[in-house]
């Protein structure tokens, strides 16, 4: 299949941000863009630096999973956030806001109706199109570096192997090859806008999230390692956590693990 390397100037012309992506590290191959920015390489980079790789050899997902992505087919990149006040205040909303911004970009460019799956998966037609992995390094009691790692399946025509959620790509859903450069710019443009709403409160991100989260009101299973909890996913609370009504009719706040609808 015809794969093209990422064309930085096509991306840059569409980028409307002030901070995000203004410093850009392009790598042909690396272990993981998250690892790159968490390492010393990320220490002297400015806030908002994006590290992009055509291929990751050890791409990581949440809950110790791997993230595999065919070379030059998709978007695999990480964003460095080193504003420790921003991290301390909004950590959980950075998580929710990132998946929201990706969903909005997919809506605008491709007229999809993406669904958000707590805490940060983006699904299209019930299949996973994007995942996010937040990782941090801390100094003393405060986070000094947060890395927001994003994988979006764009042009990959086929997915082999076993997945916890069936994967898809934009191309698979639309049947055409997609401009990765335009999509990356649109995601970063949306992301900067979503992050900028936090200072006025977190209602915007929470409400936009709730509108796109189909699990609210459903019976779900929450898994965290060997632990399993069942209940009704009643709400996303003001901290961005799940409010679960358990079988014993108690309400429990969940801020970890994997959630699936159980039939
Ligand atoms: C998940 O859905 O489990 C999260 C997947 C996150 C994948 C991205 S790809 C860029 C960045 N580097 C990594 O190693 N992981 C994230």
Portion of the chain with pLDDT greater than 90, in percent: 83
Model pLDDT, residue 141: 66
Q: Is 78 in the pocket of ligand 1 (CB under 6 A)?
A: yes
Q: Is 32 in the pocket of ligand 1 (CB under 6 A)?
A: yes
Distance 179 CA to ligand 1 centre (A): 20
pLDDT in tens, 156-192: 999 998 898 999 999 999 999 999 999 999 999 999 9
The mean pLDDT of 143-153, rounded to a whole number, is: 93
Distance 19 CA to ligand 1 centre (A): 22
The mean pLDDT of 3-27, rounded to a whole number, is: 97
Token pair for 258: 């994997």
pLDDT in tens, 25-68: 999 999 999 999 999 999 999 999 999 999 999 999 998 899 99
Per-residue pLDDT band at 104 (split at 50, 70, 90): very high
Torsion angle, CA of 15/19/24/29, rounded to 10 degrees? -100
Nearest CA to 28 among 65, 57, 61? 57
The dihedrals phi and psi of 147, each to the nearest 5 degrees, come to -115, 125
Q: Is 223 in the pocket of ligand 1 (CB under 6 A)?
A: no
Which atom of ligand 1 lies at the shortest distance from residue 59's CA? 14
Model pLDDT, residue 142: 67
Single pTM value for the model: 0.95
Which domains, and CATH codes, for the chain? 8-212 (3.30.930.10), 219-261 (2.30.30.100)
Q: Is 90 in the pocket of ligand 1 (CB under 6 A)?
A: no
């Amino acid at each position: 299949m015809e794969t093209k390397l990422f064309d930085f100037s096509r991306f840059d012309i569409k980028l409307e941000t002030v901070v995000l992506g203004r410093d850009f590290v392009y790598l042909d191959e690396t272990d993981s863009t998250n690892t790159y920015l968490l390492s010393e390489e990320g220490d002297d980079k400015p806030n908002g630096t994006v590290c992009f790789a055509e291929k990751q050899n050890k791409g990581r997902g949440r809950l110790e999973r791997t993230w595999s992505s065919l070379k030059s087919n998709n978007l695999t990149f990480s964003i460095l956030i080193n504003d420790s006040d921003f991290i301390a205040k909004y950590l959980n909303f950075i998580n929710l806001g990132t998946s929201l911004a990706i969903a909005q970009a997919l809506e605008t460019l491709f007229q999809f109706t993406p669904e958000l799956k707590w805490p940060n998966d983006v699904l299209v037609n019930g299949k996973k199109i994007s995942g996010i992995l937040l990782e941090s390094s801390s100094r003393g009691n405060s986070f000094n570096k947060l890395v927001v790692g994003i994988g979006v399946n764009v042009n990959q025509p086929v997915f082999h192997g076993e997945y916890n959620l069936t994967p898809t790509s934009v191309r698979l859903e639309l049947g055409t090859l997609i401009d990765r450069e335009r999509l990356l710019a649109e995601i970063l443009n949306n992301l900067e806008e979503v992050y900028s709403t936090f200072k006025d409160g977190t209602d915007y991100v929470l409400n936009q999230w709730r509108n796109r989260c189909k699990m609210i009101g459903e019976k779900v299973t929450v898994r965290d390692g060997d632990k399993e909890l069942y209940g009704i996913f009643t709400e996303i609370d003001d901290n961005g956590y799940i409010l679960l009504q358990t079988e014993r009719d108690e309400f429990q706040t969940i801020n970890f693990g994997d959630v699936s609808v159980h039939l």
